[in-house]
Chains A and B, each alone.
Chain A
């Protein structure tokens, strides 16, 4: 059986973010400004929707 790209699939690292964006401060108040926040493979809002992509 030949391997396909899905053979190598793995779950992205999950980082939860607050959804509220404040135009007055021009920031989204990301809940956890840890190193992980800035190198996430993918981030999710509180509803579980993926919101950001890569670490590239």
Chain B
């Protein structure tokens, strides 16, 4: 549990106006953000949107929550896009009408973000960044900046694994039974069915996972010791890595890598992103992907590194150029 002391760390203030937080009702990072921004933030939860009064028209929009708190376009100085679609996509759906309503709300969330963007309101996370920066676009953009494992995306093609390879998902959407496709090694000598879409990549013999949060010119990098993963390829399905028993530790970013990250994010036009790398025995950095709205709070929950302070601060106000530091 997070101590009360941690929860009260560094309250942020927008001073000039309010931040519209577009999220879902179960988002712990949004909870932390609200605790710091206090009344300077208006939280709209896509999965319980029926509890709000929301009107959107040519003039803009007005939203009121059940206790009378309200916000209008002209009060907003920042909008923070915090995974509202995740909650929407997972809303309980027991009728076909519910599926229609979910899609309606998804469009409303995008409409709100679009109005904010057209009004010149600062948005740290671009809701359209993920669709604009598909996996192959990221990999192609990174190819001249980092080592990138050989990869292939295919459909209608029977894939034979001739070299040690892994399969990966292009989407986080689970299967119908709730299971997910984690990164997995392809058994040698096996073939992948031509009836499916595949994203296959060469195995990197890595000693560490490194994930680097890029936010408005600053990089916060952390590593996970892969020798503790019991041979598991994907740390996300290793209980120890998920629980925190195997810690992520701060990782120094060489100047050349920091500059490469800056260049990549510039090419992809991203203010924020969480980049995943593998580090081999020679300390080479292998680029895997950028998550344009990747989770980050778990990397510095105690607040020792200032990660949350920086990201939350950037969410409510674009940092002045003199505060942006390449580390």
Residues of A bordering B, CB below 8 Å: 2-6, 8-13, 17, 19, 21, 23-30, 32-43, 45, 47, 49-56
Q: Is there an interface contact between B24 and A51, defined as CB atoms closer than 8 Å?
A: yes
Q: Is there an interface contact between A36 and B244, defined as CB atoms closer than 8 Å?
A: yes
In terms of DSSP, what is the predominant structure of the interface of chain A?
loop
In angstroms, how far is the closest chain A Cβ from the Cβ of B38?
9
Q: B31 contacts the other chain (Cβ, under 8 Å)?
A: yes
Known interface pairs A12-B179, A39-B236, A41-B172; 4 further A-B residue pairs with C-beta atoms within 8 A, sorted by A's residue number: A30-B28, A52-B24, A54-B86, A55-B294
Q: B142 contacts the other chain (Cβ, under 8 Å)?
A: no
Q: B112 contacts the other chain (Cβ, under 8 Å)?
A: no
How many Cβ-Cβ contacts under 8 Å join chain A to chain B?
160
**Other-chain contact of A12, B43, B180, B187, B301 (Cβ < 8 Å):** B180
Q: Is there an interface contact between A55 and B193, defined as CB atoms closer than 8 Å?
A: no
Q: B151 contacts the other chain (Cβ, under 8 Å)?
A: no
In angstroms, how far is the closest chain B Cβ from the Cβ of A32?
7
Q: How large, as a class, is the contact surface on chain B?
A: 35 or more
Q: Is there an interface contact between A2 and B182, defined as CB atoms closer than 8 Å?
A: no
Q: B65 contacts the other chain (Cβ, under 8 Å)?
A: yes
**Other-chain contact of B26, A26, A30, A55, A56 (Cβ < 8 Å):** A30
| A25-B34, A54-B172, A56-B293 as given contacts; A39 in contact with B298, CB under 8 Å | yes
Q: B194 contacts the other chain (Cβ, under 8 Å)?
A: yes
**Other-chain contact of A42, B29, B69, B180, B191 (Cβ < 8 Å):** B180
